[in-house]
Amino acid sequence: METTMKKFKRCQSCGMPFKKDPKGSGTNSDGTKNNMYCSYCFINGEFLQPDMTLEEMEALVKEKMKEMGMHGFIAKLLTMGTAKLERWKK
């Protein structure tokens, strides 16, 4: 995958900025850091929720933002960005 060579600032599955990830990023199967996905989405070279759909991820992201006290309109805008992340590109 050529996309693994790119340097991302946020998780390409859920959109969380890596600096908010307590572990910094997810990990590959060889234990090295994965700079595409966060530690909530991708550990040891595998997605934690491999069957998740874009719709489910959007719902999860929206829920998380509500928890963080983000208001409806902003949360909706940010959630719309989820579809543009590498994992969900068709």
Residue ranges in contact with Zn ion by CB under 5 A: 11, 13-14, 38, 40-41
At residue 48's C-alpha, the angle toward residues 44 and 49, to 5°, is 150
Residue whose CB is less far from Zn ion, 41 or 75: 41
Nearest distance in Å: CB 39, Zn ion? 8
Nearer Cβ to Zn ion (5/17): 17
Q: Which is nearer to Zn ion, 14 or 75 (CB)?
A: 14
- Block residue for tokens 């719309």: 80
Shortest spacing between CB 31 and Zn ion, in angstroms: 18
Cross-strand partners of 34:
26
CA–CA gap between residue 46 and residue 85 (Å, rounded): 17
Query: Closest separation between CB of residue 37 and Zn ion, Å?
Result: 5
Half-sphere exposure of 23 toward its Cβ, with a 13 Å CA cutoff? 16
